[in-house]
Amino acid sequence: MIRCIYTPFTDIYFHLAAEEYLLKQGNEDIFMLWQDTPSVVIGKHQRLRSEVDQEWAEREQVHVARRFSGGGAVYHDLGNVNLTFIETTPRLPEFVTYLQRTLDFLNSMGLMATGGERLGIYLNGLKISGSAQCLYKDRVLYHCTLLYDTDLTALHQALNPEPMVDDETLSSVYAVPSVRSEVTNIRRHLSVGTVTDFKGKAFQYFSKSQSVSAFTKEEIEAINQLREEKYIQKEWIYSR
């Protein structure tokens, strides 16, 4: 049985800490649906100033965070829905199976979504979802964004850093650059529905009508400790 978490929080640092905690400290299979207030999230191996317009983010009070999985930079706000799958597996997983689950959900809503390179999801050639994944012992984590009604102007501004001129400095540090894609919102391709409606349909589909699970008091305390000790620390966020 899969544990289905519908988190009421909207803090990117808490959610990144929750993912790492649930991956490493338990053995349950987990599905988690979550949202954040405006935030830019870069991959573990990315160089922050190559991915994010930091001056704009600071001016607009947009959080900047680094996750512990790989992949490229993404923008979150309350028009974006995030899905996380954490499972125990005896062998190396095929991440495309998680992509297919998400495609099946979108197609069940009448959307002609397709998978693409780097496990992205597209509608009419425009990207609506990016994903990343990581392994820990016999545990796998796969998470993805779903652009439902995101502020695309803010997304483009956040992920539009100033050009770098110090090539020597760049070449001395290993970093994985993001691959830019044209994007669209899912809502443009549906006749009706708010992001709340969309979240409800997503949770119902992936939970298979199982009851909602909440974080325990002990979990919240442990997750908040990891949040404070790692995810909000400049040493982690600006580590590249």
Across the chain, what does the average pLDDT equal? 91
- Answer yes or no: are the C-beta atoms of 64 and 185 closer than 8 Å: no
Q: How many Cα atoms are found within 13 Å in the side-chain-facing hemisphere of 114? A: 6
pLDDT in tens, 182-197: 999 999 999 879 999 9
pTM of the shown model: 0.92
Domain around 209: 3-237
Distance of CA 31 to the CA centre of its chain: 13
- What type of residue sits at position 190? L
Q: Is 64 helix (H, G, I), strand (E, B) or coil?
A: strand
Domain count, the chain: 1
pLDDT in tens, 226-240: 999 999 999 999 987
Q: How many CB atoms lie within 10 A of CB 141?
A: 23
Q: Which CATH number belongs to the domain containing residue 20 in this structure? A: 3.30.930.10
For residue 118, give the DSSP letter: G
